[in-house]
Chain A
Amino acid sequence: MSIRFILCFNKQGVVRLVRWYTANESGRETQEFIAQIYRLISSRDHKHQSNFVEFSDVTKLIYKRYAGLYFVMGVDMRDEEPIYLSHIHLFVEVLDNFFGNVCELDIVFNFYKVYMVLDEMFLAGEIQEVSKDVLVEKLHILDKLE
């Protein structure tokens, strides 16, 4: 079980967040790689299609759209998909709580804080903490530190 990468981009395909936990597969160019993922996911029907799609021989994508933002996790082909939907949902809940009604602009202007949230939640492709209370409390402390 492990997350290969976490991505967040908006409907136009502008990348807002990207985190690699394993080396890029088969030496593909990062930008092209992300562009392919964007094309694949944005072409999928929001209503009539599932949140899971196989991307390559080693990676499948679990994604969910919140307002104008897609949150995508690339995971190992043998992993079980549904728990990653919980990963994404929890991540968004924590962002929401931390920023107070998070919107894309928060993520744009405070991109470094989003990475802080990310590092408190995920490490080495694994989830690190699952209590929203614990996370938000710690994040507020870190955020106030000089």
Chain B
Amino acid sequence: MNVDRKKSFIGNPITTNTNTIKGLQIFIADLRTTQHSQDHERRINSELVKIKQHFEPNGSGSRNFNNRNNNIRLDGYQRKKYIAKLAYIYITTNTTKLNDILFGLDEMLNLLKSNHFAEKFMGYMILELLFEHEKVVNIIGNKIYPRLLADLSSNNDNFTALALNFIGVVGSLPSNFAFNEEVVDKVFQIVRSPTSPQYLKKKSTLAFLALLKNNLSILTEDIQRKQVWIQKIIGLLDDTDNYRVTLTSLPLVEYIAKHIDPSYCFRIIPQLTDILYTCVVLGTSDSGIYRFPTEYKFAGIPNPWLITKIVSLLNVLIASPHELSNNNNTPLQVQSQCLHPADLDPETLNKLRKCAVEAINLGNRNTNDVMQRIVQNTILFSLIKFATKLDPSDEAIVNSVQALCQLLNSHEINMRYLTLDSLIQLCSSNGKVAIDAIRHDNLDLIIHLMNTERDMSILRKIVDLLYTFADIDNVQVIVDHLLNFFLTSKHISDPQIRSNISVKIAILTEKYATDPNWYIDISLKILSLTINTSFNDDELWYRLCQIVVNNPQLRSITCHNLLNYLVEKQTSEYIVKTSAFLLGEYPSLVMDKISVENLFTVFAEKYFTVTNLTRAMILTTMIQLYKFAPQLGSNIIKFFQLEINSLDIELQTRSYEYLKIIQISKMSGDMNLLNILLEPMPPFNTKANPLLKRLGNLQPENSGITSLKNSSTTSLTESMKNIENVEPSVARRMSMKQPPLAPASRKNTGVLTPVQQNGTFETDGLNVKYTQQRLSTNFREGFVRMLLHKQGIFYSSPLMKIIYRTTKLEPFHLKISFTYINQTEWDITGLSSEIIAAHVQNNPEYIIQNVEPLTNSNIPPHKRVDQNFQVIVRKPYDIEESPLVNLYFKCGSSSNNITLKLGVGITSTIFSQSINTNQTSSVTLPQFITRWRTLGEALGKDAECQMQGIIMNNTDKNQDVNPIVTMLASLEMNLKRIGLDVIEQTNVANTLFVAGIIHTKSEGNFGCLLKIQCQADWRVNITCKTTVAGPLASYVVDCLKRIISE
């Protein structure tokens, strides 16, 4: 033992030494010296009795007095010691003594009450172990809540840490913690609170993950909570000092992206990319410009854990085109919500690609340190698969494949294993390009590896890879190699891999065979080699029988081949079964080779070499033979009579029944009954090859295999029927492939607006994301300003100011620039924004595009960052549905969320020539009146909107002596600002006549005429007519109303 750390000679002998428990050490040492298991058992039992006495409040019988004494003296240290002993007993007996230590559960709970860390720790430690058992949960599952809640709210961080550990360990086991609101809330409080120490934050994020895994509804039940909590969680990633909380938040965010909603996470992609870039590119560079904290390096590489977790999350968020169009594994909903690489902004994409390149360089770096090489390649393997997603060009895939294939020659076994694994995944996600690239140069190498590797894990990967390679052209070569390996390898003692190979050969031959002789030859060979029946490879012969029954032209060669196997001395049981089935069904086909008497004899001989299940089959074959050749009668009857006393109930029953049938048919003198009972086997209609289920982790994903999945149901049957012509089967394979789904709309190219194209399901036509937003209280001022002015202050708070500028690229095509200004003395960090459109599907009214990433996610005090994006107005829309901007940032320790509404309405598209030329209107009053009438006659009320009594907003209403003049002047100025023409006239004193053109991209331009009448009580009446029927007029009035009244 580590004597140097003992300090037991000072102070009180009982509690001095908190880091060793003497009684426990003695007990463990004692147990270790007892050699015989009986002594061991006895020592444990006597200790259990002793502990029980100490724990019982009232012992029994004569020792009552002593026990009470003991119990009174049972202080925290002793309690801890005894519980520690129980824990050791539990562990050392490999949990078999669970029932014998349950008496201690209450004392364990008592330990949790202790104010001493070491005691509390011991209590939690053993309960973490025991909560695996339902029994334990049933007894104290509820009693533990008060302790847990108390510790979660404790002022002592170490106590809170223990409670969080406990939840982090048992939370995802079947326990009820995840359904206890209080526990969930307390844990989340620690997650969200800006004052929680980092140490507890890390623990609480993972504890929360454990709870979430057990109960998704924590986040999904309440939509508002979902929104707020997820934003808080995502905010945790912004821990750029040492990434400690980032590391523990990543799995939580990934879990949310995978199981709840990925769209929340899209906005952090640039941020994640930056971290990745910092680690992979800057952190590994030798130039020394950037120093990655050494304590977070492992084997010389910057935080490989962080790297793999980020790549893993990005993999969830970004789907390759291939995945989008052809994915069988992800549920459709999640799939449609993934981001396409083309949706990423160019800078992010570029950085990610640089990371991938650097990872490949890293993989090629020489090092003698085994661990370092592993870590380098960890990063290589993790990024190389991701890289092909970013750049799915053939060239990039070939490059990745080539980089990987070099590693196949590695001296390290792990490396070869991982390389093969990556190659399989590349093939699976990139299909033919990757497959071709690998097999073109490396097929021989891989086959060589198969024959030399001694590791079952690697062999399995090789078999998987070869399986993936196979196609109609090379199937014979690959199957031959697999078969040869199966027959000759010394290293394949493992029955599982034998079974694995036979299943794969069977699937490949069925899938690609064009030559029936070859198919039958290989299939029977596999059956004849499959000696071990423990793996339930019955499916192999089931499938062969199905195919032969369904394809009459295969029957004769199969039966003949079977006969050849049968006459050999040792025949695999599968062959016997297949023969019993097929030769019983089609005995006539082999009569050219063997007499029916001899056939009977062959089966009769085999009968005694096989298991009862097969015997039962042979009994049926016998009666079929009888039907085929009644002259065998007495032989067969004798045979059945032999088994009529069989101990096996099935054999007995069959023999008895078959005898009866023969008797009846003899009595009736005809074969009718037999003919009815033993009708020719109808074709099987089992659609899918049951063997496909056996592929395990090699589930069809890529196009090659998928096509197999789609076509295999018919391909063999079909290809067999069309043996003369291979083409139809190939054509079928091609045609059966689902036409690839169109990738998610790529209209929007900004990374920050993925929501728009990602099928966040709309209710009532509105983007759910849009409806979920809650606007910040003071949004209105900026909103109206933006409706009216081209530039100005959009938002201002003590923390941040936002300045906007709107530029019209075309009348309906607005470019909006935001400048975010940090108003504080602290850094604003983790700034991210999201522009949200009201509609993203079904031909939306406007779209948001070209959202550029923020120039920086951090803003130093009083500095600014910029962001641009564009809005294209396609159709008229209600100002109520104008775009929202959602901002998140941290400042000091507070995290902030601002949601604002953009003042971009249908009036934003009004554009007048006269504005550009001079301030006079191009329309005269008589023209206006004529047009007004024409519109009224043509469209009537359908194109008109009236609104009375809009109260005009004016600060000094009371001082004004002539309100109408003021009103008219102010209105005229504002209307002109928007781009409307105000007609110069003096005929009607209190009214403005206004004209303008509204522009939309999809529906063209619309004229718009307005009469705006002012009243002395500061009220305004508006009438609007448009050149199109529908709600456009009301949309225009709504916009004006906001400008006038707010």
Chain A interface (Cβ < 8 Å from any Cβ of B): 1-2, 14-16, 18-24, 30-31, 34, 44-45, 48-54, 57, 77, 80-83, 85-86, 89-90, 99-100, 105-106, 108-113, 115-116, 119, 123-134, 138, 142-146
Q: Which residues of A contact B95 (CB under 8 A)?
A: 30-31
- Any chain A CB within 8 A of the CB of B859? no
Q: Which residues of A contact B128 (CB under 8 A)?
A: 19, 115, 119
Q: Which residues of A contact B381 (CB under 8 A)?
A: 80, 82
CA distance A86 to B381 in the complex (A): 14
Q: Which residues of A contact B4 (CB under 8 A)?
A: 100
Of the candidates B202, B299, B382, B418, the one whose C-beta lies within 8 Å of that of A129 is B202
Q: Which residues of B contact A86 (CB under 8 A)?
A: 298-299, 304-305, 371, 374-375, 378
- Any chain A CB within 8 A of the CB of B154? no
Q: Which residues of A contact B590 (CB under 8 A)?
A: none
For the complex, would chain A's binding face be called helix, strand, loop or mixed by DSSP majority?
Answer: mixed
Q: What are 26 sample pairs from A and B whose C-beta atoms fall under 8 A apart?
A: A1-B309, A20-B173, A34-B94, A49-B413, A49-B454, A82-B378, A82-B414, A83-B378, A85-B374, A86-B305, A89-B371, A100-B4, A100-B5, A111-B88, A112-B84, A116-B121, A116-B125, A124-B213, A124-B251, A125-B172, A128-B203, A130-B296, A130-B303, A132-B295, A138-B199, A146-B18
Known contacts A80-B382, A82-B374; A133 and B414 CB within 8 A of each other: no
Q: Is the CB of A133 within 8 A of B132?
A: no
Q: Which residues of B contact A1 (CB under 8 A)?
A: 251, 254, 308-309, 312
Q: Which residues of B contact A77 (CB under 8 A)?
A: 697
CA distance A53 to B454 in the complex (A): 13
Beyond A86-B374, A129-B244, 13 additional pairs, beta carbon < 8 A: A15-B94, A21-B173, A31-B94, A50-B455, A82-B377, A83-B378, A86-B371, A111-B88, A112-B84, A124-B168, A124-B172, A126-B209, A129-B202
Q: Which residues of B contact A45 (CB under 8 A)?
A: 454-455
Q: Is the CB of B421 within 8 A of A22?
A: no
Known contacts A19-B169, A123-B207; A49 and B457 CB within 8 A of each other: yes
| Chain A nearest CB, measured from B244 CB (Å) | 7
CA distance A141 to B827 in the complex (A): 33
Per-residue contact bits, chain B 445-475, to A (CB 8 Å; 1 contact, 0 not):
0000000001111101000000000000000
Interface size on B, residues (CB 8 A): 84
Within 8 A of A (CB), among B240-257: 242, 244, 247-248, 251, 254
Of the candidates A51, A124, A145, the one whose C-beta lies within 8 Å of that of B414 is A51
Q: Which residues of A contact B94 (CB under 8 A)?
A: 14-15, 31, 34
CA distance A110 to B5 in the complex (A): 13
Q: Which residues of A contact B696 (CB under 8 A)?
A: 57
Of the candidates A20, A82, A109, A131, the one whose C-beta lies within 8 Å of that of B132 is A20
Within 8 A of A (CB), among B577-592: none
Known contacts A20-B173, A119-B165; A81 and B418 CB within 8 A of each other: yes
CA distance A146 to B117 in the complex (A): 6
Within 8 A of A (CB), among B220-262: 242, 244, 247-248, 251, 254
Q: Is the CB of A124 within 8 A of B455?
A: no
Per-residue contact bits, chain B 368-410, to A (CB 8 Å; 1 contact, 0 not):
0001001101100110000000000000000000000000000
Of the candidates B25, B117, B209, the one whose C-beta lies within 8 Å of that of A109 is B25
Chain B interface (Cβ < 8 Å from any Cβ of A): 1-2, 4-5, 15, 18-20, 25, 28-29, 32, 84, 87-88, 91-92, 94-96, 116-118, 121-122, 125, 128-129, 132, 158, 164-165, 168-169, 171-174, 199, 202-203, 206-207, 209-210, 213, 242, 244, 247-248, 251, 254, 295-296, 298-299, 303-306, 308-309, 312, 371, 374-375, 377-378, 381-382, 413-414, 416-418, 421, 454-458, 460, 696-697
B124 (CB) vs chain A CBs: closest residue: A119
| Chain B nearest CB, measured from A144 CB (Å) | 7
Instruction: Give the A-B pair count, Cβ closer than 8 A.
Output: 198
| Chain A nearest CB, measured from B400 CB (Å) | 16
Q: Which residues of B contact A111 (CB under 8 A)?
A: 87-88, 91
CA distance A112 to B378 in the complex (A): 32
| Chain B nearest CB, measured from A27 CB (Å) | 11
Q: Which residues of B contact A50 (CB under 8 A)?
A: 413-414, 416-417, 455, 457-458
Known contacts A54-B457, A80-B378, A111-B91; A124 and B209 CB within 8 A of each other: yes
B1 (CB) vs chain A CBs: closest residue: A109
Q: Which residues of A contact B455 (CB under 8 A)?
A: 44-45, 48-50
Q: Which residues of B contact A146 (CB under 8 A)?
A: 15, 18, 116-118
Q: Which 3 A-B pairs have the closest CB atoms?
A: A123-B168, A49-B455, A124-B210
CA distance A48 to B299 in the complex (A): 24
Q: Is the CB of B421 within 8 A of A81?
A: yes
Q: Which residues of A contact B173 (CB under 8 A)?
A: 20-23
CA distance A115 to B83 in the complex (A): 15
Q: Is the CB of A145 within 8 A of B118?
A: yes
Q: Is the CB of B457 within 8 A of A123?
A: no
Q: Which residues of A contact B25 (CB under 8 A)?
A: 109
Q: Which residues of A contact B171 (CB under 8 A)?
A: 124
B132 (CB) vs chain A CBs: closest residue: A20
| Chain A nearest CB, measured from B696 CB (Å) | 6
Q: Is the CB of A54 within 8 A of B460?
A: yes
Q: Is the CB of A112 within 8 A of B87?
A: yes
Q: Which residues of B contact A18 (CB under 8 A)?
A: 91, 129
Q: Is the CB of B304 within 8 A of A83?
A: yes
Of listed A21, A83, A89, residue having the most chain B CB within 10 A: A83
| Chain A nearest CB, measured from B405 CB (Å) | 18
Q: Which residues of A contact B122 (CB under 8 A)?
A: 112
| Chain B nearest CB, measured from A12 CB (Å) | 12
Of listed A14, A106, A112, A116, residue having the most chain B CB within 10 A: A112
Of the candidates B2, B242, B248, the one whose C-beta lies within 8 Å of that of A126 is B248
CA distance A138 to B200 in the complex (A): 13
Q: Which residues of A contact B244 (CB under 8 A)?
A: 129, 131, 134
Q: Is the CB of A83 within 8 A of B125?
A: no
B25 (CB) vs chain A CBs: closest residue: A109
Q: Which residues of B contact A30 (CB under 8 A)?
A: 95, 132
B251 (CB) vs chain A CBs: closest residue: A126
Q: Is the CB of A124 within 8 A of B206?
A: yes
Q: Is the CB of A131 within 8 A of B697?
A: no
Q: Which residues of A contact B117 (CB under 8 A)?
A: 142, 145-146
Of the candidates B84, B91, B213, the one whose C-beta lies within 8 Å of that of A15 is B91
Known contacts A2-B251, A83-B304, A145-B118; A133 and B28 CB within 8 A of each other: no
